[in-house]
Structure 1
Amino acid sequence: MPKSLAFGPFRLDTDTGILFHGVEPTPLGQRAVALLALLVEQAGTPVPKEALVEAAWPRQAIEDSNLTVQIAAVRRLFEQLAGGASWIETLPRRGYRYVGPAVTAGGGDPTVGAAARAILTPDKPSVAVLPFSNLSGDPEQDYFADGMVDDIITGLARINWLLVIARNSTFTYKGRAVDVKQVGRELGVRYVLEGSVRRAGGHVRVTGQMIDASTGAHVWAERYDRSSDDIFALQDEIAISAVGAIAPSLRRAEIDRVKRRRPDNLDAYDLVLRAQLDVDSGMPEQVTRALVLLEHAIELDPTYALAHGNAAMCHHCLFLRSGLQEANRAASIRYARSAILHGQDDASALTLAGFSLGMDAHDRNAAFTALEAALAISPSSALTYILGSVVLGWSGEAERAIEWSERGMRLSPFDPWAFAAFDAQAMSHLLRGRYDEACRAAYKSVQANPAHSITYVQLAAALAKLGRLDEARAAAARVRELHPTFRYGRQFAAVNCDPALAECLGDALHAAGLPE
């Protein structure tokens, strides 16, 4: 198949699996893109349903409704962006046919052409913990089941020899019926842990099973009935049992690494679980809402490190995205220091604290003391590598930033923080004069988080460096739309940007039309 297929206002890059509308990547999913690629490549020719299913769901038996849903998504996108709902014709009982604008094939845009790497199963034991089903009959209890899985992942990640996929990737499967073998292929793991939680009154029942993803065979299964008061011991027990199923000869000392200090107050723990999604959004309105819960959690348990770390991240977001107010920067630093003080054995708290110290306190030494301590506790912490890559990127440590971002993406291939890893890559390639690679990473960042202005900052700079000024100005216009008060000089000062990087980015952003 050609690397690039252009039709109407669209261009489909078959290497990256991204459909572009002009210079903007669209949010079309991987299966829909696979179907579209086959239809457009065979424009004007009927494509049987069987061929389409094999393209998007290789070697799987699926209901026709799955194909119908994906085709509908493509038509909806065409209608919204180009009035082209009729470009894909239904052939009853046969298949579909592309009948839209003429298609031209090419070698692809060099800025967006790198083939995605296959995720290979590593040599060492590897595991993905899928979201547990909430069988309580109350959707409001979802957060509790999710918190159970979070703690199991965190416990497993403390085992040095075990590669554990981050929850941000495994939770993309939430609410979906999954084929464990397919999950193993998509995430590159040997084992998959799945289960369910039923919570009623003061009682909890948890079931778990470990499956060999290569064969589908059950390695381990267990059911636990406990009171809610014993929830932390239960989480440890499940994590220990799962690890023991992978390596029966595991030494007792390594099993004990799974156990860790817990917050003293269960209500505080509950509040942090409820705040987590809003913290992770990185959007000012949501993090403001999260701060109310986190501050209450800290009132209940002043030594709860993860509550302090999340609060630091909230204030970091408000500082950079809500006017660079000094009060937010100071609060970010204050909460980060508290997280480190109380979280010497909490990798998540140390990661968030290290990021805030590096970005807001401009203390890169303190930042990496915390980040490296987090990795010593939890070697499979994808977020540590991703956020660390951002600090390295703005510090001008280009090659190390790229290395850390790639490690983070390997541990969590579908991470919602992927845009940050791609941003780190984009600015690092720019600094080294690799403008094609910078543009490619920036496009991926935009696709991963089209609501974040910094992704378009990197894209505008990369396009300007390539001499594609019309496209650079279009990206710059998107920056101003998302962040009307953006001034690159102020932004560089806020994050203590490396002088050489500031000069490189500044020249490009000036050419793209962004104000200093």
Structure 2
Amino acid sequence: MAAIHEFGPFRLDAEAGILFRGAEPTPLGQRAVQLLALLVQRAGMPVSKDALIEAAWPGQAIEDSNLTVQMAAVRRTLADGCGESQWIETLPRGGYRYIGPAVTSSASDRTTAPSLTLPERPSIAVLPFADLSGDTEQDYFADGMVDDIITGLSRINWLFVIARNSTFTYKGRAVDVKQVGRELGVRYVLEGSIRKTGGNVRITGQLIDASTGMHVWAERYDRHSDDIFALQDDIAMSVVGAIAPSLRRAEINRVKRKRPDSLDAYDLVLRAQPDVDSGMPEQVTQALVLLERAITLQPSYALAHGNAAMCHHCLFLRAGLQEGSRAASIKHARSAIAHGQDDALALTLAGFSIGMDGHDRAAAFTALDAALAISPSSALTYILGSVMLGWGGDSDRAIEWSERGMRLSPFDSWAFAAFDAQAMGHFHRGRYEEACRAAYRAVQANPRHSITHVQLAAALAKLGRLQEARAAAARVLELHPTFRYGRQFQGVNCAPAPAASLGEALRAAGLPE
């Protein structure tokens, strides 16, 4: 039996580690919730520092300052929730006491809730968002937002998404995400709130691992629009675009805890993913070992082929422009397309390899368009597409696609490629200051990737900052000793106009042709 404590406008579920204000969860962390739970359980009675520390940090030796920080968070949350921070009294001899409104405690029996087996794929339930607008006629907006998010997530074929009819049974209820996870058989739960005033809308969302109660992702969106349905679509796409890579990272961390001999094809691809995304020859070589095991286990696994294509693409461009690497990239890309007609990520990776290594940009964008038809919120599709547009000399679309990709996934592991595309686009348009800024951001996102320093050297040279340009060029050769810009341009099928202007700048920076 789990105790639920209600006081003032608050409801505290100690087992779930959540303090609610009405139906809306507050941002109070789990340790602070445990401290508050002990205080309200002993309402009106002094509670020593030692007892509080044991409640929040059982068996740990910590400094009193940790307790002070958490108690300040409790008071701040109470003040934010009802304008009252004096419900917790500090006692002179070292302790605290709850002196707020009367506390009503009740038992909540969760043991009777059915517990479903988790599916093999990562699984998620999107709960109805709390409408904080105070206008029940605005419910349609909150519900429509959740419908759009569920639809967007359902297009991600590696994700198991609970249908709307099941999740909307929780509407208007203060829920424990761990209980939701057990009842619906999902690993992740997305919850949020909407506050709409006129044309101004604030949406908050948080993704929680239901097995641990820990936050995976949280974000707030502030928007203004007179077209409420366009706003709804915009927010839903942004939420889906941000959640997908967050779920990937969470799943990768989960798989890292499994024994290597217990990994199936899906787990092998997840474990390889960070090395694939690094764009570093040494790491993609390690990734290929895992990906080849996955393909042996499941020869029709489109995403394994797509990732293998990206690995061979990296080896082709950064490890000697060997024909064998280029051929392997194209071969795996074709397999990814053949087996992945419903997999936006596999189509994206395959399209990029066919465009960059096969020099068939028409076929590449056919694959990317198919990926966006399946999953319009696929940030990586826009990011990798922007790179191809940049090398192809389509500067404006390169910038547009890269910015769209970064809006969908601001902290994407491929952010360096998006900034590279922006740098190329601005460079080709003669906007060298903007190109320099984008190149610096690319270097910051992935300082070990030689191409980021290539873009920086070119922009600096055009700005007349030759000493800095030569330093960037030296870094290129340090990272990629065999780099020759003429061969590199040929390898990626760089359009003639950008090849000429980039080549002139790189020659001035001291890079060999």
What TM-score, normalized to structure 1?
0.54
- The answer to whether the Cα contact below 8 Å between 1:160 and 1:378 also exists between their aligned partners in 2 is no
Deviations 1:88-121 (A, max 9, x none): xxxxxxxxxxxxxxxxxxxxxxxxxxxxxxxxxx
SS at match of 1:323: coil
Unaligned runs of 5+ in 2: 1-65, 71-117, 127-144, 157-174, 196-201, 212-231, 237-243, 245-262
1:208 matched to which residue of 2? 189
2:386 is the alignment partner of 1:378: no
Instruction: For residue 209 of structure 1, report the CA deviation from its aligned partner.
Output: 4.7
- The answer to whether the Cα contact below 8 Å between 2:385 and 2:398 also exists between their aligned partners in 1 is yes
2:132 matched to which residue of 1? none
For 1:157 and 1:495, the matched residues in 2 are separated by: 41
- The answer to whether the Cα contact below 8 Å between 1:159 and 1:378 also exists between their aligned partners in 2 is no
- The answer to whether the Cα contact below 8 Å between 2:386 and 2:402 also exists between their aligned partners in 1 is yes
SS at match of 1:212: strand
- The answer to whether the Cα contact below 8 Å between 1:163 and 1:411 also exists between their aligned partners in 2 is no
SS at match of 2:454: helix
1:148 matched to which residue of 2? 122
Instruction: For residue 441 of structure 1, report the CA deviation from its aligned partner.
Output: 0.8
For 2:333 and 2:508, the matched residues in 1 are separated by: 37
Instruction: For residue 157 of structure 1, report the CA deviation from its aligned partner.
Output: 12
2:287 matched to which residue of 1? 290
How has the CA–CA distance of structure 1 residues 481 and 398 changed in structure 2, closer, same or farther, with 3 Å as cutoff? same
Alignment of 1:289-328 (within 5 A): 289-328=286-325
Alignment of 1:442-457 (within 5 A): 442-457=439-454
Deviations 1:46-83 (A, max 9, x none): xxxxxxxxxxxxxxxx99999xxxxxxxxxxxxxxxxx
2:497 is the alignment partner of 1:500: yes
How has the CA–CA distance of structure 1 residues 306 and 474 changed in structure 2, closer, same or farther, with 3 Å as cutoff? same
For 2:429 and 2:327, the matched residues in 1 are separated by: 33
Q: What's the RMSD between the two structures over aligned residues?
A: 4.1
Instruction: For residue 504 of structure 1, report the CA deviation from its aligned partner.
Output: 0.3
- The answer to whether the Cα contact below 8 Å between 1:157 and 1:381 also exists between their aligned partners in 2 is no
How has the CA–CA distance of structure 1 residues 194 and 491 changed in structure 2, closer, same or farther, with 3 Å as cutoff? farther
Alignment of 1:57-456 (within 5 A): 148=122, 206=187, 208-212=189-193, 267-456=264-453
Instruction: For residue 267 of structure 1, report the CA deviation from its aligned partner.
Output: 2.3
For 2:209 and 2:423, the matched residues in 1 are separated by: 46
For 1:277 and 1:309, the matched residues in 2 are separated by: 14
Instruction: For residue 220 of structure 1, report the CA deviation from its aligned partner.
Output: 11
For 2:448 and 2:176, the matched residues in 1 are separated by: 32
1:479 matched to which residue of 2? 476
For 1:478 and 1:219, the matched residues in 2 are separated by: 40
SS at match of 1:451: coil
How has the CA–CA distance of structure 1 residues 418 and 216 changed in structure 2, closer, same or farther, with 3 Å as cutoff? closer
- The one-letter amino acid of 1:345's match is D
For 2:446 and 2:267, the matched residues in 1 are separated by: 28
- The answer to whether the Cα contact below 8 Å between 1:445 and 1:455 also exists between their aligned partners in 2 is yes
- The answer to whether the Cα contact below 8 Å between 1:194 and 1:208 also exists between their aligned partners in 2 is no
- The answer to whether the Cα contact below 8 Å between 1:160 and 1:379 also exists between their aligned partners in 2 is no
For 1:219 and 1:482, the matched residues in 2 are separated by: 39
SS at match of 2:264: helix
For 2:408 and 2:273, the matched residues in 1 are separated by: 20
- The one-letter amino acid of 1:490's match is R
How has the CA–CA distance of structure 1 residues 508 and 376 changed in structure 2, closer, same or farther, with 3 Å as cutoff? same
- The one-letter amino acid of 1:300's match is L
For 1:513 and 1:421, the matched residues in 2 are separated by: 25
SS at match of 1:211: strand
Instruction: For residue 377 of structure 1, report the CA deviation from its aligned partner.
Output: 0.2
SS at match of 2:455: helix
- The one-letter amino acid of 1:373's match is A
- The answer to whether the Cα contact below 8 Å between 2:124 and 2:187 also exists between their aligned partners in 1 is no
Instruction: For residue 414 of structure 1, report the CA deviation from its aligned partner.
Output: 1.1
Instruction: For residue 282 of structure 1, report the CA deviation from its aligned partner.
Output: 1.4
Deviations 1:475-507 (A, max 9, x none): 111111111111000100000001000000000
How has the CA–CA distance of structure 1 residues 196 and 453 changed in structure 2, closer, same or farther, with 3 Å as cutoff? farther
Q: 1:465 aligns with which of 456, 462, 484?
A: 462
Instruction: For residue 270 of structure 1, report the CA deviation from its aligned partner.
Output: 2.1
For 2:458 and 2:204, the matched residues in 1 are separated by: 50
Q: Flag the structure with larger Rg.
A: 2
How has the CA–CA distance of structure 1 residues 441 and 212 changed in structure 2, closer, same or farther, with 3 Å as cutoff? same
For 1:194 and 1:283, the matched residues in 2 are separated by: 42
- The answer to whether the Cα contact below 8 Å between 1:386 and 1:420 also exists between their aligned partners in 2 is yes
SS at match of 2:187: strand
* Count of paired positions: 309
- The one-letter amino acid of 1:459's match is L
- The answer to whether the Cα contact below 8 Å between 1:460 and 1:476 also exists between their aligned partners in 2 is yes
- The answer to whether the Cα contact below 8 Å between 2:123 and 2:186 also exists between their aligned partners in 1 is no
Instruction: For residue 206 of structure 1, report the CA deviation from its aligned partner.
Output: 3.4
For 1:158 and 1:298, the matched residues in 2 are separated by: 36
Deviations 1:3-52 (A, max 9, x none): xxxxxxxxxxxxxxxxxxxxxxxxxxxxxxxxxxxxxxxxxxxxxxxxxx
For 2:189 and 2:125, the matched residues in 1 are separated by: 14
How has the CA–CA distance of structure 1 residues 479 and 217 changed in structure 2, closer, same or farther, with 3 Å as cutoff? closer
How has the CA–CA distance of structure 1 residues 323 and 385 changed in structure 2, closer, same or farther, with 3 Å as cutoff? same
Instruction: For residue 151 of structure 1, report the CA deviation from its aligned partner.
Output: 11
Report which stretch shifted further, 473-482 or 267-276: 267-276
How has the CA–CA distance of structure 1 residues 445 and 63 changed in structure 2, closer, same or farther, with 3 Å as cutoff? farther
How has the CA–CA distance of structure 1 residues 223 and 505 changed in structure 2, closer, same or farther, with 3 Å as cutoff? closer
Unaligned runs of 5+ in 1: 1-61, 67-143, 168-192, 225-245, 251-257, 259-265
